[in-house]
Amino acid sequence: MQIRGFYEFGHTLDVLDAESHGFSPADVARVDRFWAIGDMHDSSAGFVLQLRDGRHAYAEFLHWHGFEQDEDFRVDVEMLEGCELPTAPLREPFPGSEPWPPGGWSHEAAHLDRLLAQGHGD
């Protein structure tokens, strides 16, 4: 089973809410594509999401361990026009931003869609 992006997507689903981001995990129909990079200290990922109402959104996750292993992360969201792809990170500075997205886009997202089917984040 592929695990690339699994950790990051799980945290993204835990944080998404309609008030802050314009949609909740229950509104996500599937992951169209994603990218993910990480090591023992930081990880980041981006997910192009197809919503149940036909809209598309881009959710970007950034996670880091600070001083003495204090952990922090953020999720930023941008609504997309049609099936467009984001061309730059949502916030700077962004580790591994050249070239962007780091590692390129992957269309193999079935493992991420399984998180949605399991009701993760609801």
Q: What is the distance between the alpha carbons of residues 113 and 101, in angstroms, rounded to a whole number?
A: 21
pTM flag (> 0.75)? yes
> For 1-122, where are the E strands, in sequence order?
28-38, 42-51, 56-65, 71-80
Full DSSP string of 97-111: -SSSSTT--B---HH
Residues 82-91: pLDDT tens digits? Answer: 878 888 888 7
Q: pLDDT tens across 4-30, in order?
A: 899 899 989 998 999 999 999 999 999
Question: What band does 68 get if pLDDT is binned at 50, 70 and 90?
Answer: low
∠ at Cα 117 (72, 19), nearest 5°?
50
Predicted pLDDT of residue 85:
87
What mean pLDDT is reported for the chain?
85
